[in-house]
Amino acid sequence: MPEFAIRASADEVATLLQQGRARDAAAHLETLRQGQPPVIREALDRFVAARAQAQLAALRQPGAVPITEAASVQLMLDRLAHAGLPPRFREAEETKDLTQAQLHDVYASIIATRGNDAARGALAGQDRVILGLRQENRTTEGESREGTANFHGKGVYDDRIVVLWTDANGERHAREFHKATTEPTAQYDGHAKTAVRSPGFEDVVTRPKTEGSDVNGDGVRDLGRLADGTTEMLATTHPRNHFPDEFALRPRSRTPSP
């Protein structure tokens, strides 16, 4: 069975929309989605929503869709309206059988709908783009080596980081890291080190170093975390005790997600 080309298939639907053939686009999208797993259907919808944004906005205007086409076209419009929302956090098993090109397109479709022009431009070139997918946790949470949940503040590594790039030959690549965290951990939080610990920080096992800034002027440093959006990272180095400095990335600017 030939590989399903996510990006090329989305382009077919977007082209029909750009030609003013909304009913044909809706029918073709429905045909393409048939038999595909959710992870591919979602990526297909996101790419169509991103690449035919102007045409879809026009179709949502009152009276833009003929009554005879309303049923099929409205179903497409409703589905694609949800495509730009924060993505579902998929299970690792859902992507294990995808090819590299498909895996790249699944995550690139998120950048297409949620990223900014700089991120999309970097992805179109040969730069590496890092995509982080977060499952919200309190910074005080943690887990033991055996996987038992606790509130020692060492983090819950249930987020996902994906690195996407296109090589010099035009081949698309993606690498998933399934055990990751995009959140700070309370072991470095000043609220766990006050004379009387702040509520919720009673069981945190602290480290000597305190991170963050005193945001509200109460004399206690507050931890921050990367918010939803696109952050430009610059190459730098990170010092290590008794070892040479190592390569690191530090944020320079951020654009909120739409």
Question: Is 237 a residue whose pLDDT tops 90?
Answer: yes
Find the farthest-apart pair of alpha carbons in the chain and give their distance in angstroms, rounded: 74
Q: What's this model's pTM, rounded to 2 decimal places?
A: 0.89
Q: How far apart are CA 85 and CA 67, in angstroms?
A: 28
Locate the domains of the chain by residue range.
1-90
Measured between its terminal Cα atoms, the distance across the chain in Å is: 37
Please tell me the predicted confidence (pLDDT) of residue 1.
63
Long-range Cβ contact pairs of 119-126 (< 8 A, separation 24 or more)? 119/230, 123/164, 123/165, 123/166, 124/166, 125/166, 126/165, 126/166, 126/167, 126/168
Q: Which of 83, 64, 81 is nearest to 23 (CA)?
A: 64
How many other C-beta atoms are found inside a 10 Å radius of the C-beta of residue 106?
Answer: 25
Q: Which two tokens stand for residue 15?
A: 């082209």
What is the mean pLDDT of the segment spanning 214-231?
89
Please give the C-alpha separations between residue 17 and each of 27, 46, 72, 82, in angstroms, as whole numbers. 11, 15, 14, 18
Output the average pLDDT for the chain: 93
For residue 83, count CB atoms less than 10 angstroms from its CB and return exposed for 0-12, middle for 13-18, buried for 19 or more. buried
Asked if residues 257 and 114 have their Cβ atoms less than 8 Å apart, the reply is yes
Query: Which region among 27-36, 42-51, 78-87, 218-227 has the lowest average model confidence (pLDDT)?
Result: 218-227
Q: Which of 225, 215, 217, 228 is nearest to 256 (CA)?
A: 228
- Given the DSSP bridges, would you call strands 159-166 and 149-150 parallel, antiparallel or unpaired? unpaired
Write the pLDDT tens digit of every residue in 181-216: 999 999 999 999 998 898 999 999 999 889 889 999
